[in-house]
A and B are shown apart, each in its own frame.
Chain A
Amino acid sequence: MTGIFDTILQGVLLGGLYALFAAGLALIFGVMRLVNLAHGDLIVLAAYIILLLANSLHLGVILGFLLALPLMFAAGYLLQAGLLNRVIGEDILAPLLTTFGLSIILQNAMLTGFSADSRRLTSDGIETASLPLFNGVAIGIMPLLTFLAAVGVIIALNQLFYRTALGRAFRAVSDDPVTARLMGIDDRRLFAVAMGIALAVCTVAALFLGLRANFDPTIGPGRLIFAFEAVIIGGLGSLWGTLAGGIILGVAQTVGASINPEWQLLAGHLAFLVVLATAPRGLFPRAVD
């Protein structure tokens, strides 16, 4: 019995990581209907930037992360203003191809710059620390922090979207960009800010990805799949749906793995397919589409 409880608990906490992967993707799709196929690679890039800042400047992981946040925000702003704003529009193929190309470029650039060796972020043994609960069930500090970070990011994004003028403008542009322009909203600049925020969220995801496990330049597309599955399971109605999507995916994976270690990814994909077959718009769909 405790075995099952433990498995599900670990799955829920793993879901926090997937929600972190997914939050930036959902944000960008929600604001500008852009499917960013380079999302996973941008998370990996953020992890390398944290690593670089932490190691080469001897700042430690936390300071490195805090420095990487504004850097990634700026990178997102420039990426959108300089490149993606030129391709988004009626045609959905152009931005797909552009971000697909970007994904390949990023992977190869990271291979060249950081080699194919797998790396990880380390921070004073917190990665392996755990909190005993009862009956031999323990939760790792790192997975717990990851989950709390996911909840924190979602609360922060919700506050931004529903409590600020910027958030209202994001939602207005998402509803109707032409009318938003009539309100004096510069939708292209807003998109650039949204991408900046999405990459800052990617940096949070990267911190926990790197502290939790090894990463190398090729793992981006795999993270993208998890992010996609979490977003689609959750539906696009709310960011809490994305967290729910992440949790369902995480629990499916850990339950699958507990039955047979080879079934971890398979179980996650199956859960995704079951949701897609029974609720094609996700569990928490948008009210207005």
Chain B
Amino acid sequence: MSDEGMLSPYRALDLTDEKGLLCGKILGDLGADVIMIEHPLGNPARRLGPFHHDIPDSENSLYWFAYDTNKRGITLDIEKADGRKLFKRLVERTDFVIESFKPGYMESLGLGYEELEKINPGIIMTSITPFGPGGPYRDYKESDLVLMSLGGLTYISGEPDRPPPRITYPQAYLLSGAYAAVGSMMAFYYRGMTGEGQYVDVSMQECCEWASYFTPEWWDMAQTNLIRAGMWRVFGPAKMRMVYPCKNGYVSCWILAGPVASRGQKRLVEWMNREGMCPDWLRELDFKAWDIFSLGEATQEFLDGMAQAFTDFFLTKTKEELFEFARESELFLAPMSTAKDLFENPQLKARDFWVEVQHPELGATITYPGAFLKSTVASPSIRRRAPLIGEHNEEIYIGELGLPKETLRLLRGAGVI
């Protein structure tokens, strides 16, 4: 297994803000040399909390820490003539350019794909925009909630008697970054065979739409809107409870038909019985007789009764007890983890999932999620923490581009760098 990632021969220039940071992180974690190019005043994503020790400083954003691992950082104002010139020099020796400015912005600066291709025919330029470079919504304003809603996942979430909620931790930007990485790598593979780069256009709305499961299929196939059912999962004519409170939190538990599920469910019922918490009719149920996913002939009343019996029982047990039972008994039950549970999770620990990353500027070592998968050649890894503002200006501008120190000072004073 190599220390150097598989993408180590390659470089990316990352001009994204929070809308696209994950793209460069994925490339960087796979080994690419990713250079985050920020405005001299810092990337707007640095304003996003939470913050290290709750101190809201632009070097303390945990969102920045999480999604800028493996990136070096330089400052550059590409709106300035000298800035654009330096950018073009960097483009000469890069493989990817990733940006999330509004449609047309890079072109307006003479830095659109057509221009960059002239400088470097192999360049892969990925543009992440809320709705794409054209169309009726081209200039529409975005936010996580707006994109997730237009994508369809919001409508199918939550309890029917409340407004549909989003996932509290924003997902739209991460979905966009992840699909942007796929598009970039697709173009990269093509370039590997042909030497030709190309332009990758990522629509954040379409990325969010892909997170809405078979929402569109319900309409296309059955002229029906998929609707939210909260804790209840709709299976054909009946609905079955899927989320249960327990002694110290919540668990997700799927009660299903079929031979696989029936074993675990039977054992659950036996456990309930041993503790004197099982109604007779539940003890006598033949789970195997149900049609998978359609729950056979069970009435809603019957399923409600079952859900109540499980709820009463689960409230006497912790997440950990229930999950241990689930693992031993093949029950489809899992704890609904909090951040604390994740941190303490034995499976993640056993998989060496966590990595300790040095933050000398904070005098701290911070525990991060590590490799996002394992490869026998070279797993993704965290080689460096997210950059400070302009941290690698000297390394890149002087060390690589050969700018004299005085020039760097001048450009810094003039707000170019």
A and B: interacting chains: no
